Structures are given as structure tokens and as C-alpha cells.
Structure 1
Amino acid sequence: MRKLVRIVGSLAAVVLLAAALTHILRPEQQSQFEAQPRHDRVIETAAVGSLGFADSWIWFLSPGDVNRQFDLMVDTGVRSARIMFPWAGIQPSPDAWDWGQADLIVNAANARGIAVVALLNSTPGWATGGGPAITAPPATPELYGSFAGAFASHFAGRVAAYELWNEQNAVQFWAGPEGPQPERFAAMLKAAYPAIKAADGGATVVAGGLAPTINFFSLTLNPVTFVERMYAAGAAGSFDALGYHPYLFNPNANVRFSTAGSNSSRGLYDQLRGVMNANGDGGKQIWATEFGESTSDVDEAVQAERIRDFIVSWRSLPGAGPAFIYTTRDRATGSPNAQDNFGVYRTDFTPKPAADAMRGLA
């Protein structure tokens, strides 16, 4: 129930995100370009390392702060970043493309030797088939596959990996009366995977990071159940790694990822591995594309210890891939909203103890 409360509570943050996207990404404010097969300036990207940052808010930063944010990553010893690239911001209407902010971010990362994992989500209103912009899935798998292919074509050689969607087993990122739909998500994978591979064959494709939640009516679906149904719908062969978000969602300061029980995010990892093994994917990794702790929920010392424990423990798990800590910097340090305080740096760019913990392990 605590996990459900956190998920329902985070709906408010998603509403704010949608409002921000709607304001910032209005089509009339965009520079409109034709879809390009590839950007002229290609820099071969670095390989994805074992430790990175997951940073969704960097999309909304000014050029100066984008560069400063990446400098924080380098100062922390991190050379991989999982970054949200909202479909709604890049293709605001069917025939309009704006690569400006995306190019700025990818070029800034490449210049510092930071490997980019591109999270592709946030459906534009025109592509939802009547659902809410940003949070609804696309009306058809083909629409998403076309966007993913165009994105990969534009960034081939400059992006190391592509993550397809985010927490698709929970309503805040898969809005609609039916709730999470593993079969529909499998169809999206089958449309996007070949499109990406045709454009950027050497890149890794990650099936979107799953939330560690429970089966609760049409709001959330246990990640193990989700993956079982995803495989049953034919998803095998349409992703190279599975994404997972092993948050603790527990206010007890003594709880750690390494010591949690069988029904915890750690226990779910073992169950996910079992499902992958049973479906012939035992050789594929699970990537922790988000893990973090808000200093609205625990103090900074506990945040640092949980992150340190998680990184050490994750690296010991069979089949575990890269881990990405959410997130680089607070949106608003001291805000009562937990979503504003997940950074290992404060809003003023000063480090919390968690930054030192990451630096010691990077």
C-alpha cells in the first residue's frame, strides 16, 4: 500500500511535468525542421559505464545550466547519463521537427565523453488518439516506431542506448481507463526495435524501466506480471536489455536495498531474472535506469548510505547491468514535494553527502 500511495502521490508531479511540457513545447514557439536522416556533426559516443545519472529535468534547463549539470556529472566521476527526450518536444505536430534542445544536450554530453542513454517517452497530443498528452501511450505502435527510428537516425553514433518508455506498468506514465497494457507495450517494442536497429545498429535498446509496484485495479501492475505478459505477447527479440527502477519506497531509515525481503525491489529483481531465463533471455542484462532517494523523505546521510549500498549491492547481482542514480540536482531544495529533492546536489549546485558516495564508487 505504501508503494501505491507513492505512485498516486506522484501523479501531481506528472501533472506539473505535463503542464511544463505544454508550455515550453508549444508548436508555434518551435523552430520547425524537416526530419533529417542524420545530423551533420557526428561524434562517436562513449560506451555506457556501470554507473550513471538519470536526469529527466535537464531537458528544461538553459544552455548554460545544461553544461553546468554535465560538469557536475564529470566532477562526480560519472560518464553515463540516462536522459529524457520527450517526443512531444521533438515532434510537436506530424510534420514539424525541432531538434534544437536535443542536439544541445547530446552535443554537451558528447563533448565531455558522457555516454547518452536516450529515454523516449511523452506522447504529443496529436499522437495519443484522444488520450492526455504526455502521459498517454501512442495511438498506434507504428507512430512510436516511426518516431524512434527518426530519433535514432538523427543521433546515430552520438547516442549509446535507447530506452523505450518509462514505468509503463503504472498509470502515471501510461494513462488510460484500461491501465497498464503489456500486450500493447510489446507491440510498441516490436515496432520501435527494428526501426532503431536499422538506423543505429550498434546501439543498445532497453525495454522501459519498470516500477517496483503491486497489482492494484487498473492503476498499477506488478513488474513481474507485466514482463510475463509482455513475453506472452511476443516481445522476445525486440529489446537488448530490460529496464527496472528498484526504488525502496520505505521511510524506515534502516532499510537498504541489500537487506530488503522477498517482496521488495531486491526480491523482484530475482523474479524478473527468473522470467527472463524462462523465456530464453537469461543472457540479457537488467539495467537499473533509475534508483534514488528524496531528502524530503530521509535525511541526507541516509540518502547517501542508501545510494552507496545500492550501487555496491547491484554490482554483485548476476545479470545486473548499468545503474543510474536519480538524479543529479534538486529541482527545488527544501520543497515539501519529494520529487523536488532527489538530487545528490542541491539546487544551488552544492553537493550532498551522496555526491561523495557516488564519487567514491565511480
Structure 2
Amino acid sequence: WKDFEPSPGGYSWGFWDEVIGAYAANGINVMLSIPKAPDWARPPDDDKSVEGPPADPAKYAEAVARVADRYRGKAQAIEVWNEQNLWYEAGGKGRINPAAYVQLLQLSYTAIKSVNADMIVISGALTPAGNVGDLAVDDIDYLRAMYANGAKGYFDVLGAHPSGYLCPALGNWQTVTPEEAAGDPGHGTFTNRHHSWCFLGTMEGYRNVMLENGDGGKGISPTEFGWAVSGNPQPGYEYARSNTLEEQAAWIVQAYQWAKGSGYVGPMFLWNLDYGVTAAGTELANFGILNTPAYNALATMPK
């Protein structure tokens, strides 16, 4: 948001017009993920060193409705926010608020549909997490809170970020062994198992919550997923050292194959294509597949 409305009502569409127009001209469908409120829209007391939502959710709804109207027929979907169960996407420590997010989602859905009924609205994908003090809320707990606060009926597709970490694509978080997860029996004690460890744990956990709430007719779209590989990972991504490029390739293909037969998974956005080239040396590069076995495996995978 802050990129195209850096000042109140001061819209800057040049880059968006160029990129989205190029995709549309080449028949490529586009999903726009729109987080990051500009500072002018943020609450005065939140932490401006991290990203966060606006003080008035109606301002965001107005902005995304303008996007939906402007890119009618060129963009096919809008994701309303990103990883709102994580402190640095929620305005700072202790500011994670499912009820406030649902209000933002309700206003945004209504505003988008009022100008472009064909635009698909995806709920902001949660990050796989446990409850970590004032830093993170367990994503399945957060999803239940979204439904409890009235999210049902205000998104077309549920967004998800089912990261694989060390777990094979078809691994079960309740039974996966150290050898399966890391190829190394000495890797950890596996005493604090959690659904967020595994791609399937996240996807099936979300599906169960949707069924609990009578929302099984909707699909789930992973707007970000993948497996990191690095010989020299950044702090917090040490697990990437245990994965191999061959495992990354196999697990990505297995995830797509499983999703195709699931009956409830929509488009899956692999994270990522080329940050290994454009953002070399960052944690983003650990997920890049350009010039790796994963790229070739995807190219030859039956579509």
C-alpha cells in the first residue's frame, strides 16, 4: 500500500501499471498481495520500525478498492494483508489483534466487490507459528479467532503460507522422524512437535478449522510456500543447512501433486523464483529455484 499511496490521496501507479500491464499482455494471471500501510495512515503509537495496519481500516479498504477497479481484467486476485499473526506485520510487539484484522477484511471485501465483483479476495495468509509471547499467535488459533469474529463470508479463498522447513512435503508433523526431517538423527530431540513444522500440518489444520465453521466449500491458496537450502544460512534460517537441493526439488513437486488431488487447494505460489540472483546473500535467496534442480523438476512436472 505504501508504495502506491505514499501520501493521502497521492496515488503513484507508474510501476504497477507497467508491471501488471506487461503480465496481462502476455496472458499471465496476477495475484496482488497488499500489506504495509504508509506511515501517514498508521496509529501514532505503533512501532514504525516494522510494518503494520492502518489506524482506520476504511482507508485501506478504499485503497484496495481503487486497485481492484484500476486493474479490472488485468489482475485476478487481491490478498488482504500478510502474516497478521506476526508482530512485525501487526504494528509491533503486543499488537496482534484478530478482531481488528477481521474488521479490515470485512471492509476490504465489501469495497472490492462493490467496484469489481470478479476480483477474487484472498484472506491474508498467516505465518506458521506457535504462541510466542507478544511476538506471534499460533496460526490455527488465529484462524479460529478470525471465524469467531465474523470472517466467514468475507473472503473467497483462504490464504496460507505452509512453509516446509525441514519436513518432507508429505511428512506428518506428529510422526515425522529426525532422519526423515533432516537426514540426521542428531538433529534435535523432536519433543515439542507442532503442526507448523510441516507443509501438510498447516494445510490440513486450516482445512479442519474451515470444516468446523461450515466453510468447507471454500478453497485454500498457498500464496507463499517452499523449502530453503543454504550452506551458510542467516540467523533464524539454520535449518536450511540440513536440506539439499535434491530434496527441495522433490518436495516442491510432491506438494503440487498432492494439492492437485486434494480437492480444496487453489493456485499455489512458490517462494521463490529468482531471489538467488536478485537478492543474493539474503535469506530470500535460500528459497530461490532459478538454476537449481527444483526449476528443472517444475518445468518437467505434468501440469
TM-score normalised by structure 1 residue count: 0.70
Identity %: 31
Q: Which runs of 4+ in 1 moved over 3 A?
A: 331-337
Residue pairs, 1:244-255, within 5 angstroms: 244-250=160-166, 255=167
Are the structure 2 counterparts of residues 282 and 352 from structure 1 closer, same or farther at C-alpha, using a change threshold of 3 Å? Answer: same
- Once the two structures are TM-superposed, the CA of residue 317 in structure 1 deviates from its matched residue by 2.3
The residue number in structure 2 matching 1:295 is 229
SS at match of 1:320: coil
8 A Cα contact 1:88 1:134, kept in partner: no
- What is the aligned counterpart of 1:325 among 248, 266, 270? 270
Q: Which of the numbers 111, 115, 124 marks the counterpart of 1:195?
A: 111
The answer to whether 1:354 aligns with 2:294 is yes
Pairing 1:163–2:42 present? no
Equivalent residues of 1:333, 1:341 under 8 A apart: no
Change in Cα spacing, 1:117 to 1:319, as seen in structure 2 (3 Å) is same
SS of residue paired to 1:162? strand
Higher strand share: 1
Q: Which moved more, 1:305-314 or 1:197-206?
A: 305-314
- Aligned partner of 1:153 among 56, 69, 76: 69
Report which structure shows greater RCO (CA 8 Å, sep ≥6). 1
SS in structure 2 of the partner of residue 286 of structure 1: strand
Q: Deviations over 1:161-199 (max 9, x none)?
A: 111111111123223232421111100011100111111
Aligned to 2:146: 230
Contact 1:141–1:187 (CA<8 Å) still a contact in 2? Answer: yes
Q: Which runs of 5+ in 1 are unaligned?
A: 1-86, 346-350
Query: Which segment drifts farther, 175-184 or 325-334?
Result: 325-334
1:342 and 2:276 correspond: no
Match of 2:61, SS?
helix
- CA deviation map 1:234-267 (0-9, x unaligned): 11111011001110222xxxx3120232423412
Cα deviation, 1:192-249, whole Å, max 9, x if unaligned, reads 0011111111121000111111111111111111111111111111101100111022
- AA partner of residue 200 (structure 2): R
> Aligned equivalents of 1:331 and 1:232: distance in 2?
40
- For residues 88 and 131 of structure 2, what CA distance do their matches in structure 1 show? 14
Q: How far apart in 2 are the matches of 1:276 and 1:172? A: 26
Tell me the SS of whatever aligns to 1:206: strand
CA RMSD of aligned residues (A): 1.8
Shift of 1:335: 4.7
* In structure 1, distance between residues paired with 2:158 and 2:27: 24
TM-score by length of 2: 0.83
Alpha-carbon offset, residue 102 of structure 1: 0.6
Question: What count of residue pairs does the alignment treat as equivalent?
Answer: 267
Conserved? CA contact 1:156–1:199, under 8 Å: no
Return the alpha-carbon distance in structure 1 between the equivalents of residues 201 and 286 of structure 2: 26
Instruction: Mark the CA change 1:96 to 1:133 in structure 2 (over 3 Å): closer, same or farther.
Output: farther
Q: Which runs of 5+ in 2 are unaligned?
A: 175-194, 231-239
**Cα 1:218–1:134, aligned 2, differ >3 Å: closer, same or farther?**
closer
**Alpha carbons 1:124, 1:134 under 8 Å: kept:** no
Residue 243 of structure 1 contacts residue 286 of structure 1 at CA under 8 Å; is this kept in 2?
A: yes
Match of 1:98 in 2: 12
